[in-house]
């Protein structure tokens, strides 16, 4: 390894021992800001909303907040709202009584009861239906839950940490969003903290060489350069998968650049279209309305924005409407205008 990589390895060791942020690895300014926020909010009782693209490590942030909180010796109960059928989500959250519905052969405690005095982490919270969100809001406000089929509510004392992808936040009811968003931690995508890629690569290299009992396996200088180049649409999760594949499949003592490049290319989700969204700071003059020294009309800007959103979701009009904050009829009307303009 080069001297630069030796320095990066030392930085990881500092973060893992002195900073002790568990599975969160990074020394960039944006990640240091996340660490400071975690330490500041952990001792509090308030709700926390974590946002970020898929694969950025939202659950790891929730775990670090819990680990530093005054409830650290009490239960931490996670639930992925997107992984539970809508008809069962209320029961998973609040529990149910025996015989309350077909198949309820015994009483069941939901995560709010199981985590009493502890912490509940609701991932993909924006995937819950509007009706379920209303019940969740009431549970938070009243500090009690009513199991399905129960005659009366049950008091609960929990701290709630929730998470959502940024492009799904508009699916939250406004009143629930304001209740959840007391403390907001925004995780940056990996492409916006590329200085952390070498740190993460070394972290995963050590993890998987230990797992696969290959302690002498190293990254070549070319491989390090290959890792720094991609935009990593799958973020840290994608990078971890590439490193595991590289450690598992490399036959020699060094991970080479060309085989690694092929692994990186194969790791991109087939449904991914084009480059990831740019941040507002990176937006071009064309996006801001200046084209060839002139300016676009508001209608033209609107058309371009709708087209970009549609392209980013692969043409899914329902998802595009949610991101744009309009209903499907309004989107269809705008698409109709575009069609008429094209005919003219």
Mean pLDDT in each 10-residue stretch from start to end of the chain (344 residues)? 34 38 85 94 96 94 95 95 91 87 82 95 96 95 91 94 93 95 95 94 94 92 91 94 94 88 90 56 39 48 69 70 72 63 41
- Provide the pLDDT for residue 65: 96
Write down the pLDDT at residue 258.
Answer: 84
Cα–Cα distance between 183 and 2 in angstroms, integer?
A: 41
CATH topology assigned to domain 299-344 = Arc Repressor Mutant, subunit A (1.10.10)
Cβ proximity of 160 and 180 under 8 Å:
yes
- Global pTM reads 0.73
State residue 330's pLDDT score: 76
CATH 1.10.10 residue ranges in the chain?
Answer: 299-344
The CA distance from 262 to 76, in Å, is 39
Half-sphere exposure of 69 (CA within 13 A, CB side): 28
Q: What homologous superfamily is domain 29-186 in, according to CATH?
A: P-loop containing nucleotide triphosphate hydrolases (3.40.50.300)
Domain with CATH 3.40.50.300 in the chain: 29-186
CA dist., res. 64 & res. 46, Å (int): 15
Beta-carbon count within 10 A of 196 CB: 23
Q: How far apart are CA 187 and CA 16, in angstroms?
A: 19
Q: In CATH, what number does 193-266 get?
A: 1.10.8.60
Kindly report, as residue ranges, where domains of CATH 1.10.8.60 are found in the chain: 193-266
Confidence (pLDDT) at 297: 54
The predicted pLDDT at position 301 comes to 59
Q: Hey, what's the torsion of the CAs at 78, 82, 86, 89, to 10 degrees?
A: 0
């Amino acid at each position: 390894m080069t001297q630069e990589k030796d320095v990066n390895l030392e930085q990881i060791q500092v973060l893992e021992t002195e900073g002790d942020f568990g599975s969160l690895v990074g020394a960039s300014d944006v990640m240091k800001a996340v660490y400071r926020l975690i330490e500041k909010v952990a001792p509090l009782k308030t709700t926390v909303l974590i946002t970020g693209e898929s694969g950025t490590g939202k659950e790891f942030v929730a775990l670090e907040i819990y680990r530093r909180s005054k409830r650290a010796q009490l239960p931490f109960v996670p639930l992925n709202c997107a992984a539970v059928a809508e008809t069962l989500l209320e029961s998973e959250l609040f529990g149910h009584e025996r015989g309350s519905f077909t198949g309820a052969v015994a009483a069941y405690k939901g995560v709010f009861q199981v985590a009493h005095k502890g912490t509940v982490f609701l991932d993909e919270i924006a995937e819950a239906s509007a009706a379920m969100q209303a019940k969740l809001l009431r549970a938070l406000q009243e500090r009690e839950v009513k199991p399905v089929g129960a005659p009366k509510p049950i008091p609960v004392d929990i701290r709630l940490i929730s998470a959502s992808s940024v492009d799904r936040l508009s699916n939250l009811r406004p009143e629930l969003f304001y209740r959840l968003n007391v403390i907001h931690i925004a995780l940056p995508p990996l492409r916006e903290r590329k200085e952390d890629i070498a740190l993460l690569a070394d972290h995963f290299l050590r993890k998987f060489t230990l797992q696969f009992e290959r302690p002498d396996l190293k990254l070549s200088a070319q491989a390090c350069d290959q890792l720094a180049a991609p935009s990593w649409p799958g973020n840290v999760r994608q990078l971890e998968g590439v490193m595991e594949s590289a450690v598992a499949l490399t036959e020699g003592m060094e991970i080479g650049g060309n085989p690694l490049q092929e692994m990186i290319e194969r790791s991109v989700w087939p449904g991914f279209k084009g480059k990831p969204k740019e941040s507002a700071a990176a937006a071009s003059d064309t996006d801001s309305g200046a084209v060839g020294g002139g300016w676009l009309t508001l209608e033209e800007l609107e058309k371009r924005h709708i087209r970009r959103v549609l392209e980013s979701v692969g043409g899914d009009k329902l998802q595009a409407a949610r991101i744009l904050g309009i209903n499907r009829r309004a989107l269809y009307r705008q698409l109709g205008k575009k069609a008429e303009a094209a005919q003219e």
